[in-house]
Amino acid sequence: MRTPFIAGNWKMHKTVSEAEAFLKELLTKDLPSGVDAAICAPFIHLDRLVQATNDKVGIGAENGHFEAQGAFTGEVSIDSLSDLGVDYVIIGHSERREMFNETDESVNKKVLKALEKDVVPIVCCGETLEERENETYIEKITTQIEHAFKSVSAEDAKKIVVAYEPIWAIGTGKSATSEDANKMCQLVRETIEKIFNTEISEAVRIQYGGSVKPENIKEYMSEPHIDGALVGGASLEVESFVALLEGAHNA
């Protein structure tokens, strides 16, 4: 049985003090059991959030560099994130791929480094509207997954979280139907099965992301291949984040 997992991706939102206030308030809430929760925040927030949290809420980074050190101005190493005590790191988000030229190869390097440093990778995959309409999206997703899991051991593969996020649904208010989202998450699972085996593919948690809200979380979570959500805007307010956790719990 896969444990549901709701992760907030704050992107470039909140000041450090706002982030601390959010977490302080969140930890006063009666959070549902049986659902993993995490907040993935900007680098500058992470130290204080790690210090302030407890075992109810994990803390994740939104990116990380695969090199341990070097002349990479503005980057933060996954080694440093691990030393800080971060639980998760988002890898290969479409905004990183499109705006900052991340490639499938760099995603794989980051996945391997995260696993080496005991930080759980949340690996993103997804297609553009053009790729959806010209029916190249199956090739796009399978290629992203094959590259992400390259050289990963079977035991380590179980630790990886995959977030399927159709690019056309991120921050647009549009969302894939629960049926379509489930089919794509099933495609991800079947691709992992081909790389490894059924046991591994059934162990990997697959999130859906793309305009997920408290109003639709239960619908997505009722689908057999959707194990959680990577959430943007709806993770920025305590009440809506709690509602997402409760929706996942009650689905």
Backbone angles phi, psi at 114, to 5 degrees: -60, -45
Residue located via tokens 């997505």: 220
CA separation, residue 120 to residues 90, 104, 178 (Å): 9, 18, 26
Burial of 17 (0-12, 13-18, 19+ CB in 10 A): exposed
Active site residue 165: yes
Given 127, 131, 165, 223, the catalytic residue:
165
Helices (H), the chain: 16-26, 43-52, 78-84, 94-99, 104-116, 129-133, 137-148, 154-157, 178-195, 198-203, 217-221, 238-250
Q: Which two tokens stand for residue 66?
A: 């695969």
Q: Which amino acid, one-letter code, is at 79?
A: D
For residue 92, which phi and psi values (nearest 5 degrees)?
75, 30
The long-range contacts involving 73-76, CB below 8 angstroms and separated by at least 24 positions, are 76/43
- Please pick, among 45, 62, 65, 93, the residue that the annotation labels catalytic: 93
User: What does the alpha-carbon distance between residue 232 and residue 182 come to, in Å, rounded to a whole number?
Assistant: 19
φ and ψ at residue 123, rounded to 5 degrees: -95, 125
| Catalytic sites, residue numbers | 93, 165
